[in-house]
Structure 1
Amino acid sequence: MQSSKPMHLPFFKRLMQQNRRRFRYFLTRLETVKPKGMDKLAKEMDKEVWAETDCLACANCCKTMTPTFTKQDIKRISAHFNQTPEEFTEKWLYKERSTGDMMNKKQPCQFLNLKDNKCSIYEIRPVDCATFPHHTKKNFTDWVHVYKQNVEYCPATYKLVEKMMEKVGKI
Structure 2
Amino acid sequence: MTNTFSDLHLHPQLLSALQTIGYETPTDIQAQAIPFALDGDDILASAQTGTGKTAAFGLPILHLLEASREKSTDSSEMNEAPSKGRKRSRKNGVKALILSPTRELSQQIEDNLVQYSQNLSYKIVSVVGGLSIKKQINDLKDGADIVVATPGRLLDLMNRKAVWLGEVEFFVLDEADRMLDMGFVHDVR
User: Which range, TM-score by smaller chain?
Assistant: under 0.3
Q: Which has the higher helix share?
A: 1
TM-score, scaled relative to structure 2: 0.25
Higher relative contact order (CA closer than 8 Å, sequence separation 6+): 1
| TM-score, with structure 1 as normaliser | 0.27
